[in-house]
Each structure stands twice: as structure tokens, then as C-alpha cells.
């Protein structure tokens, strides 16, 4: 029967047997085994006994047969022996008659009288073969084995089976020395067979007599082949003189127990047999009786087992019925009791189990109720939560809206602030311009005034007479004075043009081609007033051939802011410092512009946010924090470039701006 896997996965379905079948099989097996053991024991004891008894009988029979043959042949021998003295004493005819008479007594099929040389002198043969006597007379039988044996032994001797000179048939001969002569007589072929039959009449099993060479002399109940074949090999090594020997031999394909007795005088073996094993009738009966008994036991068990099984299964049926009811959900009824302890135990346990199940059910129901209530509560809470969430969401939305508004306001403010800054810058610029202009114009005014004074004075003195030296001096002073005034006015004119350019640039956001170096110079110019007041230097390193097609106003604003930052933030409080403006062309049609100072550097906490609006280190002290943001805006949005800062406190600050030579197109801005 198949087993399901231990891991829980079953492979083949388990074969099921009903209780009845199991009990029947069990009973069958039990009775078979028991009876089998008994039967085997009985047979094991009985069969050898039977076999031993039979063997005893066989040995006795074989011995008896051997002695009987010896007696019979002895008698024949004696009869022949009676003729011993005849040849010497009698006439040949008398001898011939005597031989014939002896033959007529039966038992022999031929009698020969041989002379000293082994020649047949006289022969007595059956009447049927009367003519054969003539053929035999004169035959030289000196080489006949019987003759040679008899001569050698010098006494009466029986041959083994040999072939008769008379008819060639196989027979047995006896030789009796008769003085100078030798009497040879051959046994009639039926003789041996009849003798055996007489003695073993009651035996139904093979009987065999063989000579010393294993050739059959005669037998009974033998198959044709067994009577014709040579038994030398089967009887090899058998002595059998004292009381006989037992062997197992095959006759007609079947195994037989054989008792073998040897005749000392003849040398022949006498074999009496009985079938071995199951073929032995007595053994067979014993086995059959036992077998029948076993069969009866099996039949009885086959009859009784189902009855008993039914009683047993009845009790079980009731139990299974109850179990089925329980499986269907009915735990109420009690379980019936029967007459088997284990089943009653089971019944009691089942009732206990039913009770436990009922209890458990009740508990379960209570639990369920509690659960339901909890669920209800949870639902309510859930609803509450949802409404709260809604409210909160609404509030958040409101806040969000407000924030958005604030943000846009802030953005507007930022723009405003940028514009203000721009305006402020512009204002600074105008202030600066005015300041700048002040000087040259003042100088020019002064020079013109001086000149005026000189002229007035000269004119005054003209009346008194003019000396050449005074005229020359006056002309020199006039020249000087006009030169100064001209120079200063030119300067003022330049300044104004520059400032105009810058203003135009800064306010009109005009795009044009310009030379970077020139622009930087212009910016520096406008910043002169501020720069002059400081101890700082401005270095300028700009190649002369950098041309941009871009927005100079923005660029100017950028530079202004950066320089301003450098002065105001970087070099604040220092009594020396340098701001360096450098530019070079880089690949990609771009310009790199660097504005660096060796000032204080940017504080680390502002570093990352330096380009963001409202980031300043001078909060509350006039810094709006928008300067760099404006710069950043201008660089990225207007000029289409990038700006980066590299700063370390104590080392200075360096801004690196990468600009395309050709700025991207802008929409017209306000």
C-alpha cells in the first residue's frame, strides 16, 4: 500500500480496506499461519518416520531378492553340476541326450559342452532352433569372456550379461568345469524376469537387477529405456554386501529411494525402489491429510470471520454515524455505548469533544459580538476622522491660497526692489556722474574765471600802456587758462558722453556690438568718484580685441555691482587691496570675465546662497542683499551666460562669468 509523504504532499492515494475485509484477512492469515506451523511440524516429524520405515522395508526386500536369486541360480548350478562327470564317462550321444534333458527341465536356453581348447563339442538348443546346433558345433569359444573367466578361476562361475552364441541375444551364462571339459549353460531370457516377478509380486515400483558392469539382467515396472540402458555410473561405488545400501535413483524421470543389495556369489546388484518425496504414497497421504486440514481451517475462518467482523463493525457503525452527525454540525446528542472497551472509550471521548465544541461555539459567538461592536465604533471614528480631514484640508487650501498670494506679492516686491535697486544704482550713478562732473567743470569755471580776471585786468591796464613782456605774459596766461578750461571741459564732455552711454545702456537695454575693454573702461570711469576715495587699486587685464554682440547695459550693471561688492564688502576696513578685472576668450565663442578681490571673502554660511535674493552680510546696515541676485539674473537671463563664485574667508573672492559672445535674443523689456 502506498504511503503519503511525510512533508504533507501525498504521492499516491492510500489503498483502503474495509474493517470486515481486514478482519477476514487477519483471521485467514492467523489460521493459515497457525495451521501451517502445526502442519509443518507434524509433517516434519511424521514424514521422515514414514520414509525411514519405507527404507527399512526396501533394504529387507532387496536383501531378500538377492538371496532368492542366489538360491535359484544355485539350484540351476547344481542341476548343471549333476552333468559334470558325464563327458568323461559317457558316449557323445549319451552326453548330447543328457544335455537335451537338462535343457528340457527349464531355466536354460542352451547348454554347450566345450573341450579343453574351448571348442564346442556338443550343444543342446531349443527345438525351435534345432538347426542352430549344427552351427554351434565346432565353434571356437575360447575367447568368450565366460570361458576365459571360468578357466582362470577354475571353478563354477556365473557371467555378467553377455551375448549368446546361439542367437546373439543378451543373457547370462554359467560355466561348470567338468573334468577336461567345460559345461556352459545360458539362462533363458524370461527366467530372470519371471523370478523377479514371483518375488516382488506385491511391489508396484521399479525393481532392477544389474550385473557387475551395470547391464540390466532383468527387472520389473521399468520403462523401456531403463531396462535397456547401462547403469554402471549410477551404481558406481556401491558395495552393498553387508545389509545393503540406500541411494536415490531416477526411474522414468522420477526420483526413487532405492535399496541396493549385492550378491556376493554373483556380484550382481539387486535394487528395490519406492518413489521418493511426494510420490511416495504414504508421504502423499500424510501431506494430503494435513493439507485438507489446513483447507478446512481456511474455509472455517472464511465462514466465521465475516460474522464476527459484522458484529464488530456494528459497534463501529454507530460510532461513525454519530461522528458524521457531528461533522454535519450536530453536537447535541449522546454517543451510544457498546461492548468493546476501546469503542466505549472512544464514545466517551467523543461526547467530551462535543461538549468542548459547544462551549467553544458559545465563546466564539460572544467574541463575534464584541468584534462587531468594535467595528461599529471604528466606523464611527472613521467618519469623524474624515470630516476632520476635510476641514483641515479646507483650512490648508485657504492657507495655501494666502501663501500663494503672499508669494506673488513677494515676487512683485522683489521685482520692485530690483527696480528700486536699479533706480538706486542709477541714482548713485547720477550722483556719481554729477560728482564727477563737478570737478572738471569747477576747474573749467575756475580757469575761465581766472582768465576773465586776467582779461579784465589786462583791459584795465591797456589804457596805461602795455609792455611787450606783459603782453607775452598775458598771452601765456590766457593760453594756459584756456587750455586748462578746454581740457577740463573736454573732460567734462567725455564724462557726460560716457555717462550718457552708460545711462542709455542701462536704461534702454539696448543691444549692440561693443568692445569689452572699452566698456570696462567706461564703467571704471563712472566709478572713479567712489574709487578715488578708497585706498584700493583696480587692475585691468583685458585684451583689446574682444568684441561682443550683447547688452552692454546689463554687463555694465554687472561690473558695477561686482566692483561695488568688492569695495564695500570684500575690502571693507582694509587699508589696501586690489580688485582685478580680467577677461579672455574661451572655446565655444565665449568670453570668460573674472572679477576678483583679495579681501575678506564670503562667509561660509552665505556662500551657498550668495546669489539668492536678500542674502547679505549687511542686513540693517544698508545692504539690500539684491546686488548679486541682480547680477545673477543679468548674467543668466539677459546675457545667456553663467556665473560662479570662488571664495574663502581671508583669501578673497573671485567671480567668474562665462558669456557667449553673441547674447541670446531677448524680448523687449521695460
Partner 1 sequence: MLRAATVALLLTTLMLGGCGEREPLHIGFLGGLSGRGADLGEAGRNGAQMAIDEVNRGGGIGGRQVELVVRDDGHNGAQTIAAVNELVAARVAAIIGPMTSAMAEVALPLANNAGLPLVSPTVTARKFFGVDDQLFLVMSSTREEAALSAQFHHGRGARRVALAYDARNLAYTESWLAEFSRSFQEFGGEVVGIAFESAPDADLGRVAEKALAVRADLVMLIASAADAARLAQKFRERDPKIPLAASQWATTQRLIELGGSAVEGMFLHNYFDGQSREPAFLRLRAAYVDRFRREPDFAAIASYDATRAVLDALTRREGGETLHDALLKRGPFAGAEGNFSFNGNGDSSRVPRITTVRDGQFASVM
Q: Provide the binding-site residues for partner 1, judged by CB under 8 A.
A: 25-26, 28-29, 32-33, 36, 39-40, 43, 47, 118-119, 129-132, 134-135, 138-145, 160, 163, 165-170, 212-214, 224-225, 228-230, 232-233, 250, 253, 255, 276-278, 283, 287
C-alpha pair distances (Å), 106 with each of 16, 111, 132, 201: 82, 11, 19, 21
The smaller minimum CB distance to partner 1, of residues 149 and 592, is found at: 149
Question: What DSSP line would sit under 13-64, residue for residue?
Answer: PPP---HHHHHHHHHHHHHHHHHHHHHHHHHHHHHHHHHHHHHHHHHHHHHH
Looking at residue 319, the DSSP 8-state letter turns out to be: H
The cell for 445 is: 569755471
The smaller minimum CB distance to partner 1, of residues 37 and 430, is found at: 37
Rounded to a whole number of angstroms, the minimum distance from the CB of residue 35 to partner 1 is: 10
What are the phi and psi torsion angles at 251 (to 5°)? -120, 130
CA 564/CA 635 separation, integer angstroms? 16
Residues 6+ apart with CB under 8 A from 422: 506, 557, 630
Say how many C-beta atoms besides its own lie within 10 A of residue 362's C-beta. Answer: 9
Rounded to a whole number of angstroms, the minimum distance from the CB of residue 372 to partner 1 is: 56
Rounded to a whole number of angstroms, the minimum distance from the CB of residue 170 to partner 1 is: 6
CA 357/CA 581 separation, integer angstroms? 97
The smaller minimum CB distance to partner 1, of residues 28 and 568, is found at: 28
Q: What does the chain come to in residues?
A: 670
Rounded to a whole number of angstroms, the minimum distance from the CB of residue 165 to partner 1 is: 5
The smaller minimum CB distance to partner 1, of residues 152 and 533, is found at: 152
Nearest to 77, CA basis, from 149, 174, 142, 5: 174
Is-contact 414 625, C-beta < 8 A?
no
CA 437/CA 647 separation, integer angstroms? 36
Rounded to a whole number of angstroms, the minimum distance from the CB of residue 17 to partner 1 is: 10
Rounded to a whole number of angstroms, the minimum distance from the CB of residue 228 to partner 1 is: 4
The smaller minimum CB distance to partner 1, of residues 38 and 484, is found at: 38
The residues with which 578 forms a beta bridge, in sequence order, are 537
516-532 and 468-508 helices cross at what angle (nearest 10)?
110
The smaller minimum CB distance to partner 1, of residues 32 and 313, is found at: 32
Is-contact 653 631, C-beta < 8 A?
no
Rounded to a whole number of angstroms, the minimum distance from the CB of residue 115 to partner 1 is: 12
The smaller minimum CB distance to partner 1, of residues 160 and 597, is found at: 160
Residue 261, classified by CB atoms within 10 Å of its CB into exposed (0-12), middle (13-18) or buried (19+), is buried
The smaller minimum CB distance to partner 1, of residues 166 and 347, is found at: 166
Looking at residue 279, the DSSP 8-state letter turns out to be: G
The smaller minimum CB distance to partner 1, of residues 87 and 165, is found at: 165
The position carrying cell 524421470 is 253
Rounded to a whole number of angstroms, the minimum distance from the CB of residue 183 to partner 1 is: 18
Rounded to a whole number of angstroms, the minimum distance from the CB of residue 296 to partner 1 is: 15
Amino acid at each position: 500500500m502506498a504511503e503519503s509523504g511525510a512533508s504533507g504532499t501525498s504521492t499516491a492515494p492510500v489503498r483502503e480496506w474495509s474493517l470486515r475485509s481486514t478482519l477476514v484477512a487477519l483471521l485467514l492469515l492467523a489460521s493459515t499461519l497457525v495451521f501451517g506451523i502445526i502442519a509443518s511440524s507434524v509433517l516434519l516429524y511424521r514424514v521422515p518416520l514414514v520414509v525411514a520405515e519405507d527404507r527399512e522395508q526396501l533394504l529387507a526386500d532387496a536383501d531378500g531378492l538377492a538371496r532368492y536369486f542366489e538360491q535359484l541360480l544355485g539350484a540351476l548350478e547344481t542341476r548343471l553340476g549333476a552333468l559334470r562327470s558325464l563327458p568323461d564317462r559317457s558316449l557323445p550321444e549319451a552326453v548330447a541326450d543328457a544335455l537335451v534333458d537338462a535343457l528340457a527341465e527349464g531355466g536354460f536356453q542352451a547348454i554347450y559342452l566345450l573341450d579343453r581348447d574351448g571348442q564346442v563339442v556338443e550343444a543342446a538348443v531349443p527345438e525351435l532352433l534345432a538347426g542352430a546346433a549344427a552351427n554351434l558345433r565346432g565353434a571356437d569359444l575360447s575367447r568368450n569372456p565366460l570361458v576365459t573367466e571360468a578357466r582362470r578361476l577354475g571353478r563354477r562361475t556365473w557371467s555378467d550379461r553377455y551375448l549368446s552364441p546361439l542367437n546373439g541375444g543378451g543373457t547370462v551364462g554359467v560355466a561348470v568345469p567338468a573334468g577336461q571339459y567345460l559345461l556352459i549353460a545360458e539362462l533363458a531370457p524370461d527366467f530372470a524376469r519371471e523370478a523377479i516377478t514371483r518375488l516382488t509380486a506385491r511391489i508396484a515400483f521399479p525393481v532392477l537387477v544389474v550385473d557387475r558392469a551395470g547391464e540390466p539382467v532383468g527387472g520389473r515396472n521399468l520403462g523401456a529405456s531403463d531396462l535397456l540402458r547401462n547403469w554402471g555410473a549410477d551404481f558406481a561405488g556401491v558395495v552393498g554386501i553387508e545389509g545393503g545400501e540406500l541411494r536415490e535413483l531416477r526411474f522414468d524421470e522420477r526420483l526413487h529411494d532405492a535399496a541396493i543389495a549385492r550378491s556376493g556369489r554373483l556380484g550382481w546388484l539387486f535394487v528395490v525402489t519406492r518413489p521418493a518425496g511426494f510420490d511416495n504414497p504414504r508421504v502423499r497421504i500424510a501431506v494430503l491429510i494435513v493439507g485438507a486440514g489446513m483447507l478446512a481451517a481456511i474455509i472455517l475462518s472464511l465462514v466465521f470471520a465475516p460474522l464476527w467482523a459484522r458484529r464488530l463493525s456494528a459497534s463501529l457503525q454507530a460510532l461513525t454515524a454519530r461522528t458524521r452527525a457531528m461533522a454535519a454540525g450536530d453536537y447535541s446528542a449522546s454517543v451510544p455505548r457498546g461492548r468493546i472497551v476501546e469503542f466505549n472509550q472512544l464514545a466517551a471521548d467523543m461526547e467530551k469533544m462535543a461538549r468542548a465544541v459547544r462551549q467553544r461555539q458559545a465563546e466564539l459567538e460572544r467574541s463575534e459580538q464584541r468584534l462587531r461592536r468594535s467595528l461599529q465604533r471604528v466606523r464611527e471614528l472613521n467618519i469623524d476622522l474624515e470630516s476632520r480631514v476635510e476641514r483641515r484640508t479646507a483650512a490648508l487650501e485657504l492657507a495655501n491660497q494666502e501663501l500663494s498670494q503672499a508669494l506673488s506679492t513677494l515676487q512683485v516686491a522683489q521685482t520692485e526692489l530690483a527696480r528700486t535697486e536699479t533706480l538706486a544704482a542709477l541714482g548713485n550713478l547720477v550722483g556719481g556722474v554729477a560728482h564727477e562732473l563737478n570737478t572738471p567743470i569747477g576747474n573749467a569755471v575756475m580757469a575761465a574765471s581766472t582768465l576773465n580776471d586776467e582779461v579784465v585786468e589786462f583791459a584795465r591796464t591797456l589804457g596805461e600802456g602795455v609792455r611787450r613782456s606783459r603782453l607775452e605774459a598775458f598771452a601765456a596766461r590766457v593760453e594756459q587758462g584756456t587750455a586748462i578750461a578746454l581740457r577740463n571741459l573736454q573732460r567734462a564732455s567725455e564724462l557726460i558722453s560716457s555717462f550718457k552711454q552708460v545711462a542709455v545702456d542701462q536704461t534702454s537695454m539696448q543691444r549692440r556690438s561693443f568692445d569689452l575693454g572699452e566698456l570696462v573702461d567706461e564703467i571704471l570711469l563712472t566709478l572713479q568718484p567712489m574709487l578715488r576715495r578708497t585706498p584700493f587699486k583696480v587692475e585691468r587685464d583685458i585684451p583689446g580685441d574682444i568684441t561682443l554682440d550683447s547688452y552692454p547695459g546689463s554687463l555694465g550693471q554687472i561690473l558695477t555691482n561686482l566692483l561695488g561688492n568688492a569695495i564695500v564688502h570684500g575690502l571693507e576696513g582694509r587699508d589696501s587691496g586690489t580688485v582685478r578685472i580680467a577677461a579672455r576668450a574661451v572655446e565655444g565663442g565665449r568670453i570668460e570675465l573674472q572679477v576678483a578681490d583679495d579681501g575678506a571673502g564670503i562667509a561660509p554660511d552665505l556662500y551657498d546662497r550668495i546669489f539668492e535674493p536678500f542674502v547679505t552680510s549687511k542686513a540693517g546696515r544698508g545692504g539690500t542683499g539684491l546686488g548679486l541676485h541682480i547680477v545673477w539674473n543679468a548674467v543668466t537671463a539677459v546675457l545667456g551666460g553663467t556665473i560662479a563664485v570662488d571664495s574663502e574667508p581671508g583669501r578673497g573672492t573671485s567671480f567668474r562669468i562665462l558669456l557667449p559672445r553673441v547674447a541670446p535674443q531677448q524680448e523687449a523689456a521695460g
